[in-house]
Amino acid sequence: MDIEHIKKSIRNVPDFPKKGIQFKDITPLLQDPELFSEVINIFYERYKEKNIDAVVGIESRGFIFGAPLALNLNCAFVLARKKGKLPPVTVSAEYELEYGIDSLEIHQDAIRSGDNVLIIDDLLATGGTAVAVVELVNKLKGVIVETAFCIELSFLEARKIKGLKNVFSIIEFE
């Protein structure tokens, strides 16, 4: 496992999507089947003995990591999507954006009470979407095993956000 090689595959795009943002682009990682497979394998090795019942992927890049991981773990894959993208019946949770509020939804029957749940996304920045998905899983009485990310921007200190605990990330940018 070569974490440094994975980290070097993440492209930094300055001033995207707006001035002052240093966007972490995962597409070079995804275009390298060996590296992409290695990332999925890191997650798999971490969770294969955790009795995961469902992997919740956060829209949209969380789907990229969550779907193959759920297949490898032989468990359900659950979509956490923006409001209005899933047919009813859903539960929703709001989170703050820089200039407003948005919300995420999952199907009401996607997680059963007591299910062991892994939440996954590509990047942990400020943590708003992750906290919203934690709220959704809690509403459905799932048990959150961990919240996992390929990349964490640790300088933003999202781990300190209320309700966001049991965080794992493969790569950190300080």
Catalytic residue set = 61, 98
Please state, in angstroms and rounded to a whole number, the distance separating the CA atoms of residues 86 and 104. 10
Query: What span, in angstroms and rounded, lies between the C-alpha atoms of 137 and 144?
Result: 7
Cα 145 to Cα 20, 137, 142, 148, 171: the distances in Å are: 34, 11, 9, 10, 19
Backbone phi and psi for residue 62, each to the nearest 5 degrees, phi listed first: -65, -25
Q: Do residues 102 and 80 lie in contact, with contact meaning Cβ atoms separated by under 8 Å? A: no
The amino acid occupying position 47 is Y
Which H/E stretch holds residue 44?
helix 33-47
Report d(CA 168, CA 148) in Å as an integer. Answer: 5
What does residue 120 show for φ and ψ, rounded to 5 degrees? Answer: -140, 145
